[in-house]
Structure 1
């Protein structure tokens, strides 16, 4: 149990530190509106991957990296599908349709990665 708590604490700490680094970097770069994009997902993912590498080695790192890639693709498809579906069907039905598309893409991606 101690290893799990330490691993979670280190993931949170490393993710937070990398958020600060990416936020500082995005302040230097122009335009500044990309600060959220650069400081959120990439920094948390890099922190999580670094801690996983330390605690579990490269075997788990490959699986987690593949899962992140599948999740990213599914999220991009969700983002692309949401606006037209919400315009056509309204907020509730459009969002539900986009969520269904996300789940389908994610399930198909994980099925391909796990096979």
Structure 2
């Protein structure tokens, strides 16, 4: 019983720390692709989201929605982003947490 309580408390502590981490956890990386005489620079950013809901599916969906919302605020379209992962974990009976990450790429003029 004590180990379950300790694991639950540790999960809540880690989840609380995850909320404090900035949504755009990774810096931009620039790559250059060549097509003909002109070079096109691309910008890639990764965004994360976290959520706490009553079911694992709801928690994953909300975490991904938060990550996509952050990408939208940074000027990325939904079509420019792909889901890297979405994971959920049980915090207590009927209470779940989730994390999700997306990667977005766009060309820059």
Query: TM above 0.5, one fold?
Result: no
TM, length-normalised to structure 2: 0.30
Please identify which structure carries the higher strand content.
2
Structure with larger RCO (C-alpha < 8 A, sep 6+): 2
TM-score, normalising length: structure 1: 0.29
